Amino acid sequence: MIGRLNHVAIVVPDLAAASRTYRETLGAKVSAPVDLPAHGVTTVFVELDNTKIELLHPFGEKSPIAKFLADHPSGGMHHVCYEVDDILAARDRLKAQGARVLGDGEPKIGAHDKPVLFLHPKDFAGTLVELEQA
């Protein structure tokens, strides 16, 4: 059911420092920071040949990643995002198998303007999983 790894998201305490690490130490192509107020994050996209890394930092007072950063002050891996062809069919299949879909279970428009859902980490080897309709 799942297709490509769309991205791995990493929460960082300092976007400029993390951008430098990816650009200069790792030699990757790194975007300028992009504020996504609707998502409560500022994002830097690291483009790799086969996927992306998204560096995330809280934006605004009610950022959904503020607690994660408080719990992981040095930063850390936050979620992986897999592509699916049909997000509603994927959701229904997962729910039928007992997986928990976060929120109200309806897809939201994600950071790439495509429908996304998040799945409970306890059902997926301790990892928060995002599904994105490709």
Nearer to Co ion, 83 or 130 (CB): 130
Residue 25: CB minimum distance to Co ion, A? 23
* Radius of gyration of the chain measured on its C-alpha atoms: 15
130 in active site: yes
Residue 9: CB minimum distance to Co ion, A? 5
Q: Can you tell me whether residue 119 is helix, strand or coil?
A: strand
Pairing of strands 41-47, 29-30: antiparallel
121 sits in the region (left: phi over 0; alpha: psi -120 to 50; else beta) called alpha
CA–CA separation, 18 vs 122, rounded Å? 28
| Residue 87 binding Co ion, by CB under 5 A | no
Considering only residues 7 to 26 of the shown chain, the ones binding Co ion according to CB under 5 A are 9
Residue 7: CB minimum distance to Co ion, A? 6
Q: Choose which of 10, 44, 65, 81 interacts with Co ion (CB under 5 A).
A: 81
Catalytic (active-site) positions = 130
State the residues that interact with Co ion by CB under 5 A: 9, 81, 130
